[in-house]
Amino acid sequence: MDRIQALERSIRGYWDERTETKRSFLLGHYKEMRTGFDKKLMEMIGEQVQKRGVGGQKKIASIYLVRPMTSLYTESYEMILGMADRDLYLDEDRSEAYWYPELVYKDIDGDMREVERILKKRFIRLEGYELSYLKLILLDDDQRLLQEVFLHLLDDAMDRLLGYASIWEDELQILAGDHMDEPVVLRRIKTSAARPMRA
């Protein structure tokens, strides 16, 4: 573990600079992701309108973005978008869809080649498992960038989503995290006011 920490320290400056450059790019271009994102959202809304109706059933209390750990190991980088009531993963009527945020992950291989090039100047031998483990650590930064993009995409879609008033709880939580872990609340939204408020 000490060696992994040494490897991370050696490239942290490069990676932090790369992450800031990527953040600026994503915030300027995230709208390119809207078509695919909105399509997934509206498909889930359609399911939820059918499942929840206007009766006394539980209403949607959360929209979430979770990262399946398998997507890191297979390098598919697909995320799970979902909508659920207060029971979250235990909600039998939840809707989920896989979503690939291409702009966030399309250059990962190139970034890791640069990481390896930098490390080879400072370390005599690099093991494959070390690079793989380091990549998992570094991808956490991209996950945080994705969460920022996720909030922007939701902001753009929120007026349309909240138009389906019968399916929402009074307060909607926007959540993110790793699949089946305790999610983090990114934002809370009063659905009656239809205005986002910071968590």
CB 185 within 8 A of CB 199: yes
Q: How many residues in total does the chain contain?
A: 199
Global model pTM greater than 0.75: yes
Q: Which residues touch 70 (CB under 8 Å, ≥6 apart)?
A: none
C-alpha pair distances (Å), 123 with each of 81, 128, 165: 40, 13, 58
Angstrom CA distances, 45 to 96, 128, 152, 166, 189, stand at 10, 43, 18, 11, 17
CA gap 10, 120 in Å, rounded: 11
Q: What pLDDT is recorded for position 58? A: 87
Q: Helix, strand, or coil here: 156? A: helix
Describe the strand order of the beta sheet including 79-84 as a list of residue ranges: 95-99, 79-84, 60-67, 168-178, 184-190, 195-198
First to last CA, the chain: 35
pLDDT band at 189 (very low <50, low <70, confident <90, very high): very high
Under a CB-based contact definition with an 8 Å cutoff, are residues 144 and 158 in contact? no
Structure-model confidence comparison of residues 195 and 127, the more confident one:
127
Residue 26 CB neighbour total at 10 angstroms = 20
Q: Looking at residues 83-99, what average pLDDT do you find?
A: 94
Q: What is the mean pLDDT of residues 6-28?
A: 94
Of 20 and 197, more confident? 20
What does the pLDDT look like over 107-120, one tens digit per residue? 899 999 999 999 99
| Residue 56's pLDDT band (cuts 50, 70, 90) | low
Per-residue pLDDT reduced to its tens digit, 110-163: 999 999 999 999 998 899 999 999 999 999 999 999 999 999 999 999 999 988
CA distance 138 to 15: 8
- Give percent of the chain above pLDDT 70: 94
